Amino acid sequence: MSIDAVLSMLKSREKDSVGRLMEWLRIPSVSTDPKHAGDCRKAAEWCAEQLRLAGLKPEVRETGSKERPGHPIVFAHHPGPAGYKGPHVLFYGHYDVQPPDPLDLWESPPFEPVLKPAKPGGPGERVVARGAVDDKGQVSTFLEAVRAWKDAAGGVPIALTVMIEGEEESGSVNLENFIKAHKDELARADVCVISDTGMPAADWPAITYGMRGLAYCEVVLHAADQDLHSGLWGGKVPNPINELCRVLAQLWDADRRVTLPGFYDRVLETTEEERAQWRRLNLDPAAALKKIGLPPEASIGEQGWTFIEREWARPTCDINGIYGGYQGPGAKTVIGAKAGAKVSFRLVADQDPMEVGRAFEKWLRERTPPGCRWEFHQHSGGPPGNVPIDCPFLQAAIRALKRANPGGKDPVLIKSGGSIPVVGMIKTLLKLDTVLMGFGLEDDRVHSPNEKFELACFNLGARAHANLIAEFASATSKY
């Protein structure tokens, strides 16, 4: 059976595989820094070459405009073998990386990847470099799988579209236009696969089947047209800070539930099956809180839900910033003319960011303090991502992970409280579900100095992608 040959080949070339990843990591493709524009292109071309070696016909496509060019996107179509009946897969990833600052905290230079013991004195190794896991390392698990299919079985046996962008770490500013411009090509896909998430442990694979969405608003409450002397005016006119606090405090009830009318109407129920999956993780809230300097009693949130359910299953509201009046040292007896806050809502399926933003604005206007006025902006955001547990693509990924980790722990279904905006974009523009099959660990130091990727995770990822391709290749329908 060809998958066995593919897995044997992966096993035999593990050293070469990590060598290739280290080559890619040497290219400082920092997308936010214009002086690395050439490096970004180099990283894109390196990636295209890998796809070419896997038998695909990649292109390095331009993004942005002539006036404001973006970093290129590596794009490839692969029709699959004649008579292929399974689903057409869109693989998305990114070759750009976060800036390496602060440089002085790196134990080795960020763009000179090194192998270190996974644990001092213990077995296994890790690769340390900027981008080791986010996302070059994770994308490489896919690249190694398709190369192994080519080399061991003559070709990639599924219909595949690959889209590797270079601006994920700088807001994917050109991705939406790119997807719109290439919608006809991209719409051939039946499902999207991304490797940019994590798993509970190196020997415990996971599928992330839900991410929270985001509605991010900014509100400014205006009162007098000037700053006022708090002695001469205090107590007889609206103080926008007083009033803002009084209004925003009403966002939560005594059970810490968000009070916007209808806020929970679209929230999907968490099933007993889901809870059972999460209980398998045996998470220790006290240990998690300790890492950020909080005692066990700081485990607070919506009444009736556990620590992890509050992150994965429940929407929430946070004030991410607040400002008004005098902020310098000492005392100033002023009543500011205005006060503002950045208020965001983390959303779960099937909440809609624009709907929540509108509800919040309406709610604020109903609470306008006498003589005041609101200024309201809705900043960036995105819908929640969610794949039903019984989705066949997800079930295929679970089978692939199981086969990639023989004798190991059964894959677990997890969620994340964060957002991957591209998941929402792909859902909205292309109507595709995304399977998030990621191989990072919590301690990989993503975006921080000494970012690393365990080779155990890297190799598991390559085997998983190889198996997932086999799953789809043997499908007799698109599911």
Question: Which 246-275 positions form the footprint of a copy of itself (CB under 8 A)?
Answer: 246, 248-252
Among 41, 116, 182, 342, binds a copy of itself (CB under 8 A): 342
Nearer to a copy of itself, 64 or 417 (CB): 417
Place of tokens 């897995």: 7
Return the ∠ at Cα 185 (arms to 181 and 189), rounded to 5°: 125
The only residue of 216, 263, 393, 458 in contact with a copy of itself, by rule CB under 8 A: 216
Q: Out of 52, 332, 362, 365, which residue is the one contacting a copy of itself (CB under 8 A)?
A: 332
Residue whose entry in the numeric block shows the structure tokens 């998430």: 197
- Residues within window 359-378 making contact with a copy of itself, judged by CB under 8 A: 369-372
The answer to the question of residue 310 lying near a copy of itself (CB under 8 A) is yes
- On whether the CB atoms of residues 85 and 476 are closer than 8 A, the answer is yes
* 247, 369 contact by CB (below 8 A): yes
Q: In this complex, which beta carbon is closest to a copy of itself, that of residue 23 or of residue 318?
A: 318
Does 322 bind a copy of itself (CB under 8 A)? Our answer is yes
- Binding map of a copy of itself across residues 382-421, x = CB under 8 A, - = no contact: ----------------------------------xxxx--
Q: Are strands 89-94 and 191-194 parallel, antiparallel or unpaired?
A: parallel
What are the phi and psi torsion angles at 287 (to 5°)? -65, -40
Tokens matching residue 101: 């600052």
Exactly one of 235, 366, 390, 476 binds a copy of itself (CB under 8 A); which one? 235
Helix (H) or strand (E) holding 350: none
Identify residues 155-174 at the interface with a copy of itself (CB under 8 A): none
As a whole number of Å, the end-to-end CA separation of the chain is: 23
At 303, the amino acid letter reads: Q
Region near a copy of itself per CB under 8 A, out of 2-10, 31-39, 53-61, 212-220: 212-220
Smallest gap from Cβ 225 to a copy of itself, in A, equals 3
Between residues 302 and 471, which has the closer beta carbon with respect to a copy of itself? 302
Q: Binding to a copy of itself by residue 234, rule CB under 8 A?
A: yes
Residue pair 323/228 in contact (Cβ under 8 Å)? The answer is no
Region near a copy of itself per CB under 8 A, out of 11-19, 110-118, 127-135, 334-342: 334-342
3-state secondary structure 41-108: HHHHHHHHHHHHHCCCCCEEECCECCCCECCCEEEEEECCCCCCCCCCEEEEEECCECCCCCHHHCCC
Binding of residue 320 to a copy of itself (CB under 8 A):
yes
Least spacing, CB of residue 364 vs a copy of itself, in Å: 14
Q: Identify the CA nearest to 264 among candidates 379, 343, 388, 356.
A: 356
Residues 274-293 that bind a copy of itself (CB under 8 A): 285, 289, 292-293
19 token code pair: 């060598």
Q: Which of 67, 107, 297, 366 binds a copy of itself (CB under 8 A)?
A: 297
Options 53, 118, 220, 245; binder of a copy of itself; rule CB under 8 A: 245
Size of the site for a copy of itself (CB under 8 A): 82
- Which residue is associated with the tokens 């059970």? 255
Q: Is 471 left (phi over 0), alpha (psi -120 to 50) or beta?
A: alpha
Binding span for a copy of itself by CB under 8 A among 78-86, 102-110, 217-225, 351-359: 217-225
Q: Which stretch binds a copy of itself (CB under 8 A): 18-26, 130-138, 311-319, 388-396?
A: 311-319
Residue 165: φ, ψ to 5°: -95, 170
The residues that bridge with 454 in the sheet, in sequence order, are: 126
Which pair of tokens denotes residue 105? Answer: 């905290």
For the four alpha carbons of 222, 223, 224 and 227, in that order, the dihedral sign comes to: negative
Does residue 239 interact with a copy of itself by CB under 8 A?
yes
Pick 109 or 301: Cβ nearer a copy of itself: 301
Least Å distance between CB 196 and a copy of itself? Answer: 14
